[in-house]
Amino acid sequence: MTDDRPVALDEYPVHQVPLSMKHVATGDRNAYDRCIFHVFDHHGTALLIVGLGVYPNTGVIDAYATLRSGDRLLAVRASDALTDDRTNLAVGPLRITVDTPLRRLSLHCDADPADPDSLSFDIEWTADFPAVWEPHHVQRRGERLMLEGRRFVQAGSCTGTVRAGGTEIRLAAGEWTGTRDRSWGVRPIPGEEGGRAAAEQRPEGFHWIWAPVRFEDRFMIVIAQEDADGYRTLSEALLVRNGRHDVQLGWPQADIGYRPGTRHPERAVIHLTGPGREPLELGVEILCSSPLALGAGYPPATDWQHGTWQGRGWTDRRAYDLSDPAAHPAAAFGVTDHAARFTLDGQVGHGIFEHGSFGRHDPSGFTGYESVAP
C-alpha cells in the first residue's frame, strides 16, 4: 500500500495543482528537478562543477561533483532513494544548503574516510545579480515530447576551500566566479525504449551554446540552439544590471574557432545588437574544459547517467586522465562546459561557454557526425 500522507511542504501555500507537494503534476517517468553550479578561477587552473537532481516519478535523488585541474578530472557521484523531505538537498557525501533563497547557498562534499586526500570542499556561493528566467525550452521528436524545461540562471562570487590530492585550494574573493542554473520539468532519463520516433527520427544535427557571463557591473546570458540546417529553436541574449531594466541584445550569432581535427572550441566571437541597433561583440577565450559525459552523468556517459537507479546508498569516486582525448571518445558527442574569459566593450568578464555540436550543422560547415574542423 502506498504511503500518501501529507508532507511538510503541504503546510505552506505553495501548491500549483490539487496534489500533495510530494507529487508532480505529470505522470511522465522523465519528470526531473535539478541544479548545476560552476565554480572556477580566472586563470583556468580549476573548474569545479556540482549538481543535484530529483526524479520524483522514479523515486531517485542523485548528485555529483567534478574537478578539472590540469589533465586530471576527479569525480564524486552519489545516488539514493528519494524521501519526502524535499528541502534536504543531500545525497551521500554531497550536500547543497539554501541559506538565503536566490542569494546565498552552500556547497559541501565530504572526503572519502578511507582517503583523506580525496576530493572535498566547503564553498559559499553568493549571488551578485538577480536570477533571471531562460526561455521556455521545448523539444519534440516526432509527436513525442522529449524535453520541456523551465530554468533560471544566476552569477555570483565564491569563497571557501577545495581539497584534492593533498592540495588545498582557497577560493579568494574576486579571483573566482560562480554561475548556476536551476531547472525542472521533463527531460529524458535512460532506460526507456524510444520506439519508432527514436528509430526513424534521429536528429541529423544539434548545435548548442549556453553562456552565462559575469562582468563587474553586469551579467549576460546567451543561448542558441540550432538544428542541422541552422534553424534556431531556442535563442536568448540578455544583459542584466542591478536595479535597472534588463536589456535584450538581439539575435546572437557565433563565429567559433575550433581546434583542428575536432569540434573543441578554442575561441569565439558572439555577435550581438545593442538597444540602439549598434553592433556588439562578445569575445570568448577558453581557459579550462570539462566534458559533462565524464563524471557528471550527462549523455552519452557510459558509467553512470542522471536519474538511473543504482540502489540505496550508492557512492562512486573515480579519476579520469584527459591528456589523451582519444581515450574518451564519448565525450566528443556530449556537451562540454568551458570556463572562459569574455570581453565586451573593453571590459573583461568570466563565465561558462557550454557547447555541444553533433552531426550536421550547415552554418559551421559540419556535414555529419564524423565531420570535424579542418
Domain ranges of the chain: 32-187+195-364
Q: Residue 326: what pLDDT? A: 87
| CATH level 2 (architecture), domain 32-187+195-364 | Beta Barrel (2.40)
pTM here is 0.96
In the block, cell 525542472 appears at: 184
b/e string for 133-153 if b means 16 or more Cβ within 10 A?
A: ebbebebebeeeebebbebeb
Per-residue pLDDT of the chain (374 residues; tens, 9 = 90+): 456 789 999 999 999 999 999 999 999 999 999 999 999 999 999 999 999 999 999 999 999 999 999 999 999 999 999 999 999 999 999 999 999 999 999 999 999 999 989 999 999 999 999 999 999 999 988 888 889 999 999 999 999 999 999 999 999 989 999 999 999 999 999 887 766 766 677 789 999 999 999 999 999 999 999 999 999 999 999 999 998 999 999 999 999 999 999 999 999 999 999 999 999 999 999 999 999 999 999 999 999 999 999 999 999 999 999 999 889 998 999 999 999 999 999 999 999 999 999 999 999 999 999 999 99
Q: Where are the beta strands (DSSP E) in 16-59?
A: 31-41, 47-55
How many whole angstroms separate alpha carbon 145 and alpha carbon 126? Answer: 35
